[in-house]
């Protein structure tokens, strides 16, 4: 073999190795961008400024919360196990000026919603778009330990916390050891990716879908449209941060206007929660 050919071959091998390393290092970064269906493009054009949202009597009856009589779990009940904080708890999340992690009307309210849903069903399946380190997943797992069996699937590209899914995985494994009727799956990626949507579709339908990922209008509509396709009969979609980002109210109004959902309920939680069915 000539020296020139050997050098070319070596260069090619080096290039391939470099490409492989880059792929490993940046596998969390998605190549491409969301493709919008006609339905989503139509929803974006709707002017929602004159639309008012009516509370659904059906959902009101089902989720009659915020009553003083409701017993709420403590922060430790939710995020501690055997006297120690679960891996999902990050020290820097304890923020005194905006104490969302310990707020009585945030995760404890969600706990009551999940408990109520789990007491009606034998097996409950939840999908969450936007996992971070798995606080919500933990609340669901703890709320649905008895008498139901429960399955949680979460999607996240680890944008906010680099090892978020790793922490969620450690947490949920610890809970699963104590609650054998609980199981879970975590997917690293964006909810708009074709392959991820297909996987989620084939894993559905889901009784509870929690939308808490991309907070842009386009991102919310993609998640709402996906949720409509994979929601089980009698299931509910929870949209967090309803009072926190004006875009979310707009997206919810658009989703109701185009008929993806028929029922709406607003619950006054820490940042506002919309329930759709």
Question: Contact positions toward ligand SAM, by CB under 6 A?
Answer: 128-132, 135-136, 155-160, 164, 190-192, 212-214, 219
**Residue in the structure block whose two tokens are 């009553």:** 67
Helices (H), the chain: 3-25, 38-45, 57-62, 75-79, 107-120, 135-143, 164-178, 194-203, 217-230, 246-257
What is the maximal distance between C-alpha atoms in the chain?
85
Counting every residue written for the chain, the total comes to 277
Q: How far apart are CB 75 and ligand SAM at their closest, in Å?
A: 14
Q: How far apart are CB 159 and ligand SAM at their closest, in Å?
A: 3
Q: How far apart are CB 226 and ligand SAM at their closest, in Å?
A: 10
Closest to ligand SAM by CB, 56 vs 175, is 175
Closest to ligand SAM by CB, 56 vs 224, is 224
Closest to ligand SAM by CB, 28 vs 60, is 28
- At 127 the three-state DSSP class reads strand
Closest to ligand SAM by CB, 7 vs 163, is 163
Q: How far is CA 3 from CA 7, 8, 11, 30, 184, in A?
A: 6, 9, 12, 40, 55
Closest to ligand SAM by CB, 56 vs 190, is 190
The percent of the chain in helix, strand and coil, each rounded to the nearest 5, is 45, 20, 40
- Pair 184, 147: CB distance under 8 Å: no
Give the whole-angstrom CA distance, residue 269 versus residue 260. 24
Q: How far apart are CB 22 and ligand SAM at their closest, in Å?
A: 22
Q: How far apart are CB 70 and ligand SAM at their closest, in Å?
A: 20
**Residue in the structure block whose two tokens are 């808490």:** 212
Closest to ligand SAM by CB, 87 vs 157, is 157
Closest to ligand SAM by CB, 60 vs 166, is 166
Q: How far apart are CB 274 and ligand SAM at their closest, in Å?
A: 15
Pairing of strands 149-156, 182-188: parallel
Q: How far apart are CB 139 and ligand SAM at their closest, in Å?
A: 8
Give the whole-angstrom CA distance, residue 101 versus residue 78. 11
How many Cβ atoms are within 10 Å of 236's Cβ, its own excluded? 23
Closest to ligand SAM by CB, 192 vs 266, is 192
State the DSSP H helix or E strand holding residue 208, giving kind and residue range, or none if neither: strand 206-211
Q: How far apart are CB 103 and ligand SAM at their closest, in Å?
A: 12
């Amino acid at each position: 073999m000539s020296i020139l050919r050997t050098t070319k071959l070596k260069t090619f091998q080096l290039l391939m190795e470099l490409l492989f390393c880059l792929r490993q290092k940046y596998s969390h970064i998605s190549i491409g961008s969301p493709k919008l269906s006609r339905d989503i493009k139509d929803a974006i054009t709707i002017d929602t400024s004159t639309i008012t949202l009516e509370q659904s009597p059906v959902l009101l009856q089902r989720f009659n919360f915020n009553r003083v009589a409701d017993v709420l779990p403590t922060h430790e009940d939710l995020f501690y196990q055997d006297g120690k904080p679960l891996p999902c708890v990050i020290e820097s999340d304890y923020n005194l000026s905006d104490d969302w992690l310990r707020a009585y009307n945030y995760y404890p309210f969600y706990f009551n919603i999940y408990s109520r849903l789990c007491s009606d069903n034998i097996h409950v399946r939840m999908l969450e778009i936007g996992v971070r380190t798995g606080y919500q997943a933990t609340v669901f797992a703890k709320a649905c330990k008895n008498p139901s069996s429960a399955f949680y699937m979460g999607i996240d590209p680890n944008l906010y916390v680099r090892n978020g899914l790793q922490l969620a995985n450690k947490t949920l494994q610890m809970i699963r050891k104590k609650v054998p009727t609980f199981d879970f799956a975590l997917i690293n990626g964006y909810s708009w990716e074709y392959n991820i949507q297909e996987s989620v579709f084939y894993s559905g339908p889901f009784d509870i879908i929690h939308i808490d990922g991309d907070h842009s209008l386009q991102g919310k509509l993609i998640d709402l449209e996906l949720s409509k396709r994979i929601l089980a009969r009698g299931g509910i979609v929870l949209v967090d941060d309803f009072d926190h980002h004006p875009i979310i109210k707009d997206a919810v109004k658009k989703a109701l206007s185009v008929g993806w959902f028929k029922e709406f309920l607003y619950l006054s939680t820490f940042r506002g929660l919309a329930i759709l069915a």
